[in-house]
Structure 1
Amino acid sequence: MISFLEGIVDTVGVSYLVLNTNGIGYQINIPAYNNLFLKIGDKTKIYTYLYLREDKIMLYGFLTKEEENFFELLISTPGVGPKVGLNILSKMTPDDFGKAILQEDLDSITAIVGIGNKLAKKIVLELKEKISKITFLEAGVEKTFRFENISYAIDALKV
């Protein structure tokens, strides 16, 4: 298992980066918005999820450990693979997606590429209870979980 990689950003694409770690270039699939924070030549730390299939090995990367944990929660849902999980994190923050699940907002969920109505219902069914366990209710006002904010992500890039 590769928990994280530290290195110099060599290439940044729409949904991937190449991280040079001691002369080895790792291609890592990332949520699309992460490319806004990654600049060629910067030293950074990327938390990774290693995906193994019969015909390929892929790395998925995240700016924070919390984002990676949320990705793993997403792909634990039957029908949600790494590609759909990455699409979710490219369109919505973990907080916003968690709120959509708790509110059963199928319109927001089905707006994500790769998620139809049937899969959206399955995601809500499978994850609503898990998400609600990390949601705190105080005096009837919902305070949803915060995985991390943007300033933390920017600080993480200054490794």
Structure 2
Amino acid sequence: MISSLTGTVQTVALNTAVIDVNGFGMLVNATPGTLSALHAGREATVFTSMVVREDSMTLFGFATAEERDVFEVLISVSGIGPRTGLAILAVHSPEEVRIAANTKDTAAFTKVSGIGPKGASRIVLELNGKLVPTGAPVPSASGGGNVSVWEPQVIEALTGLGWSEKDATATLKSLSKADPDVIAAGNVAEILRAALRSMSSGTRV
């Protein structure tokens, strides 16, 4: 089992990255948050989980061991595949998942695309006792709202994913008009997700 990779980042795409480990290009599926910290040509370490199927072996990468561990618990739930597990961690931090599972907060899981009320109820039922809060600080949704804090981080993440700085800046400018609430909150992960949705659709919001 491959539990982590350390090597030089070759490429970073919207949902994946390729990391050169001693001459082997390892394709890793990851969340936007994890991918935003990876930059082509730089060395990086990602914690990984390998999902083995009859016809494939797929690596999923995470910024922290805790994120990987929560992912592995999530995909042990009936009906949650690796893609859905990754989607949950793209929306919520590991601690937020722990809190939602512990408090039976089905609404938190329905915020994830593809998970409805019935699926959310099954998730909290099956996660009962498997995930408990650690007491770690949960990132504030308010984030401070200071453009000087979040804007360089989002632009760097977008350029690291392959877009030009010009396109990244233009998208954020459009986003500030189309979705001012997201911008005002100043949450880097939320702004990045909104920008990625806009840019991957081929149109600016």
Q: Please state which band the TM-score falls in when normalised by the shorter chain.
A: 0.7 to 0.9
Greater percentage in helix = 2
TM-score normalised by the chain length of structure 1:
0.79
Query: What aligned pairs does 1:56-71 form with structure 2 within 5 A after superposition?
Result: 56-71=56-71
What is residue 99 of structure 1 aligned with on the other side?
Answer: 99
Which residue type is aligned with residue 83 of structure 2?
A: K
Tell me the distance in 2 between the aligned counterparts of 1:4 and 1:148.
Answer: 25
Greater percentage in strand = 1
Higher relative contact order (CA 8 A, sep 6+): 1
TM-aligned CA deviation for residue 56 of structure 1: 1.6
Query: What aligned pairs does 1:1-159 form with structure 2 within 5 A after superposition?
Result: 1-132=1-132, 135=133, 144-146=134-136
Change (3 A) 1:91 1:18: same
Change (3 A) 1:113 1:29: same
**What is the percentage of aligned positions where both structures have the same residue?**
38
> Aligned to 1:128, what secondary structure does the other structure show?
coil
Greater CA drift, 102-111 or 23-32: 102-111
RMSD: 1.9
Runs of 4+ aligned residues of structure 1 deviating over 6 Å after TM superposition are none
Change (3 A) 1:147 1:19: farther
Q: Contact between 1:61 and 1:68, CA under 8 Å: does it hold in 2? A: yes
TM-score normalised by the chain length of structure 2:
0.63
Q: Flag structure 1 segments of 5+ consecutive residues without an equivalent.
A: 136-143, 150-159
The alignment covers a number of residue pairs equal to 139
